[in-house]
Amino acid sequence: MGLQTIMVATDLSERSDRAMRRATLLAREFDAGLVLVHVVDDDQPTRIAEREQAAADELLREQAATLRDRDGVACDVRVVLADPFVGIVDSVRALQPDLLIIGPHRRQVLRDVFIGTTAERTIHSVDCPVLMANAAPVGGYRHLLLTTDLSASSGRSLVRTARLRAGWHAHATLLHLFEPPPEWGRTDEDRHQPDGPTETARTELRAFFEGLEAGSAELEIRAVSSSPAQGILNAADELEADLIMVGTRGGGGLARFLIGSVAEEILRRSNRDVLAVPPTDADH
């Protein structure tokens, strides 16, 4: 299935080039079309807002022409006058892209979107995966770090991710963090018991993943020693992953892959690209 339409939310700053460049690379890789979206804040005098809207439209059309001529990527533009967050969500609903890309330049502007209750409301309002392009793109993704809490909705997010990354020539690692018993791990013998918590968690992950149509991935089991988000970030560093995938819903307890907790912290702290994947419509 892969990607057919990619939407890029841009604030027209120079730093938005990361999102634009990543979107261009993906569009060329998947032969997908791009839609560049800019939202002009309507909370200002009408004359100023309309002037900004016209200027943004002209600039985006120039960028779109360059992308078509230089990169051979079909590209449309959309400039809307609205509250920035509402404008992005409404554009996603209208355009129904396969992927929304937002650059690190929007971290401060979208802080309220990706943190706390506003994050939950916004991310759960869109049906498409959201890619935060944090790193400077130098080529296609080479190593994807997938994460799961073994919940049903996490499984559906993994299946959706597999469809999204169909055709990517990238190695994938599926990470599951488990919470060991308090008394476990005091000795090396504890860590290597054939029926210990690690092997139990590995068996559970293998059974969970084999029950999905989620592509292929190397399985990685780790005991969480700090916060789950820190454990994921540490694993991404050690495995040299260039994309971290997190589901936007999950189970209870340690398995808190929910915007507002684990996913929120990763979005806020990661210097690598992060893909937030909502479950299917059945979960809404």
Instruction: Give residue-wise pLDDT tens across range 141-167.
Output: 999 999 998 988 889 999 999 988 877
pLDDT band, residue 234 (cuts 50/70/90):
very high
Which pLDDT score is estimated for 82?
92
Among left, alpha and beta (phi > 0; psi -120 to 50; other), residue 251 is: beta
Q: What pairing do the DSSP bridges indicate for beta strands 143-148 and 243-247?
A: parallel
pLDDT digits (tens, 9 = 90+) for 183-206: 655 555 555 565 578 888 999 999
The gap from C-alpha 40 to its chain's centroid, in whole angstroms, comes to 24
Boundaries of every domain in the chain: 5-132, 143-283
Average pLDDT, the chain: 82
CA distance 257 to 254: 9
One of 3.40.50.720, 3.40.50.620, 3.40.140.10, 3.30.499.10 is the CATH number of 143-283, namely 3.40.50.620
The structure tokens listed for 171 are 């190695």
* Token pair listed for 38: 């800019």
pLDDT of residue 119 exceeding 90:
no
- Angle at the Cα of 65 (from 60 to 66), degrees rounded to 5? 95
Mean pLDDT of 114-142: 73
Same fold, 5-132 and 143-283: yes
Average of per-residue pLDDT across 5-18: 85
HSE-up of residue 85 (Cα within 13 Å, Cβ side): 16
CATH match for 5-132 among 3.40.1030.10, 3.40.50.620, 3.50.4.10, 3.40.50.460: 3.40.50.620
